[in-house]
Amino acid sequence: MLQIVENAKNYLGKTAIVDSKVEYTFSELLQRSEAVSASLLEENADLNQKRVAYIISPGFEYAAIQLGIWRAGGIAVPLCITYPFPSLKYVIEDTGAEYLIVGPEYEELLSPYKQTSSIKFITLAEINPEGTVNLPEIDKSRGAMILYTSGTTNLPKGVLTTHANIEAQIYTLVKAWHWSSNDYTIGILPLHHVHGIINVLSCALWSGATIQFLHPFNADEVFEVFEEGKVTVFMAVPTIYFKLIAQFEVFPEERQRKLTPIMEKFRLMVSGSAALPVSVMAKWKEISGHYLLERYGMTEIGMAISNPYHHDRKAGYIGQALDGVEIRLVNEENQVVLPGHAGEIQVKGPSVFKEYWGKPEATANTFTEDGWFKTGDIAVIEAGYFRILGRDSIDIIKSGGYKISALEIEEVIRQYPGVKDVGVVGIPDEEWGEIVVSALVLENPIDTKVLNSWLRERMPAYKTPRSYKIIEELPRNAMGKVTKNDLKKLF
């Protein structure tokens, strides 16, 4: 029994999703998701954890497909709608997906898979809206979803979570943040990330709340929805808050005066996926009346730490361990550190993922012998609150809510004619948290604008460097390792 589906049955006549101004009830969502299940199952009784990749714009169809895959017994593999073909190909083939569901605007991009015998290519138009099927019983220990995260290795790793993991992630947040069927939220975050899928969409559906999708993101449209007076919960990343503040500041004073009291009535506003600059926190408090709730999580664990719902929230702090989540800080010898001392955050609990897909060695390496997940983030506890100090690896760049592997970008840039060597780092930026920059050692002169265009055909735009420096050689230590702190100083 999937609890998110059982919960939906309690709200059949209530609006679940608003998509392009059209309202869809929970009953319609369940009916459409069963039609998706029927299209996938055909004559089979159970997908038995076959991987189903899908690329669908945020909205009603996305939610129905996610639920439909789960109800049919498959593992959902959401694809990023802004990725170029090589990035999508990597995920589809790394997961061994046997089904690919494609929205109309992405059919041309994914057309190479139409003739592939190993993958069943399904368009939205091919899903019979009247389709029904006997649905299998789903054990919660089964795999439910694979999301991709960039780590310190060159290529992203697939994070496999079970239904039990996902239910634990949702339940913890519903309890901590007081979700209810009276809530109304906006979906503006990417749906191939935990923040968008779990924190917003799944928590809303689990609770019988309503989610209104706005796609693509437009700051003025967000404020227009605010002005309708329905929103109670709003979640975004620091980059979005930065854009909303910029938009608010160009509004006439009369509209500003109208908006502030509307936002003050919201029940909850949350920021996450990257560190929130204190200046942005203060400015948002000034215009909205809300001291944003910051929290901490990862693809592998869902949310683990959060500022409190009712009590004091501290700027620059991620808060306290959520209910049902065990947290410890350890030193390099894996010994628990004393209060006030920095250590790596390690996590244990039912929300922690099962494994990295197809990578048993990487899975083993990320857990301690006694079962704690090693996050790679360094923190300290001060007055009962966790404060993040940074990554234990300088090769992870956090930009606009994404975690980006510098090594992955370097490997692609090295393939460009004329490039002899490359070093990629992240440098602080108020809007994005960090931005990607690159130092190049050249064999022949190149045009960096042409290089950037070339890169955008091979990787998502947010991974491409914003700035380049041409240097004679990369700074290295005695062991030949590039000293990236020295590289950062160049920018």
User: Can the peptide bond before residue 104 be classed as cis, meaning omega within 30 degrees of 0?
Assistant: no
Confidence grade of residue 150 (pLDDT, cut at 50, 70, 90): low
pLDDT(397) > 90: no
According to the model, what pLDDT value does residue 479 have?
42
210-391, CATH topology level: Rossmann fold (3.40.50)
- The set of residues, in sequence order, having a beta carbon less than 8 Å from that of 221 and lying 6+ positions away, is 214
pLDDT(163) > 90: yes
According to the model, what pLDDT value does residue 152 have?
38
Reduce the secondary structure of the chain to three states and give it as a string.
Answer: CCHHHHHHHHHCCCEEEEECCEEEEHHHHHHHHHHHHHHHHCCCCCCCCCEEEEECCCCHHHHHHHHHHHHCCCEEEECCCCCCHHHHHHHHHHHCCCEEEECHHHCCCCHHHCCCCCCEEEEHHHCCCCCCCCCCCCCCCCEEEEEEECCCCCCCEEEEEEHHHHHHHHHHHHHHCCCCCCCEEEECCCCCCHHHHHHHHHHHHHHCCEEEECCCCCHHHHHHHHHCCCCCEEEECHHHHHHHHHHHHHCCHHHHHHHHHHHHCCCEEEECCCCCCHHHHHHHHHHHCCCCEEEEEECCCEEEEECCCCCCCCCCCCEEECCCCEEEEECCCCCECCCCCCEEEEEECCCCCCEECCCHHHHHHCECCCCCEEEEEEEEEECCEEEEEEECCCCEEEECCEEEEHHHHHHHHCCCCCEEEEEEEEEEECCCEEEEEEEEEECCCCCHHHHHHHHHCCCCHHHCCCEEEECCCCCECCCCCECHHHHHHCC
Q: HSE on the CB side for 336, CA within 13 Å?
A: 7
The token duo for 320 is: 């306290």
pLDDT(141) > 80: yes
Of residues 156 and 277, more confidence is placed in: 156
What is the tens place of the pLDDT at every residue in 61-91?
A: 999 999 999 999 999 999 999 999 999 999 9
In whole angstroms, give the CA distance from residue 336 to residue 210.
Answer: 42
According to the model, what pLDDT value does residue 236 have?
94
Amino acid identity at 71: R
Amino acid identity at 177: W
In whole angstroms, give the CA distance from residue 210 to residue 14.
Answer: 8
pLDDT(392) > 80: no
In whole angstroms, give the CA distance from residue 135 to residue 70.
Answer: 10
Q: Is the dihedral angle over the CA atoms 220, 223, 224, 225 positive or is it negative?
A: positive
In whole angstroms, give the CA distance from residue 266 to residue 391.
Answer: 33
pLDDT(394) > 70: yes
Of residues 152 and 254, more confidence is placed in: 254
Global confidence as pTM: 0.85
Q: Locate the domains of the chain by residue range.
A: 210-391, 396-489
Amino acid identity at 56: I
Angle at 224 between CA 218 and CA 225, to 5 degrees: 95
CA of residue 120 relative to chain centroid, distance: 27
Which has the minimum average pLDDT: 147-156, 201-210, 265-274, 323-332?
A: 147-156
Q: What is the mean pLDDT of the chain?
A: 93
pLDDT, mean of residues 384-408: 80
pLDDT(99) > 50: yes
pLDDT(275) > 90: no
With a pLDDT cut of 90, the percent of the chain lying above it is 81
Which has the minimum average pLDDT: 92-96, 151-155, 382-386, 467-471?
A: 151-155
Confidence grade of residue 149 (pLDDT, cut at 50, 70, 90): confident
The token duo for 37 is: 């299940």
- In CATH, the number for domain 396-489 is 3.30.300.30
Strands 210-213 and 184-187 come out as: parallel
pLDDT, mean of residues 120-131: 96
Which of 3-17, 147-161, 368-382, 413-427 has the highest mean predicted lDDT (pLDDT)?
Answer: 3-17
According to the model, what pLDDT value does residue 232 have?
98
According to the model, what pLDDT value does residue 154 have?
55
According to the model, what pLDDT value does residue 151 have?
45
- Which of 423, 427, 455, 451 has the alpha carbon at shortest distance from 439? 423
With a pLDDT cut of 70, the percent of the chain lying above it is 97
pLDDT(239) > 60: yes
Confidence grade of residue 391 (pLDDT, cut at 50, 70, 90): low
CB-based contact 229:180 (threshold 8 Å): no
According to the model, what pLDDT value does residue 153 have?
44
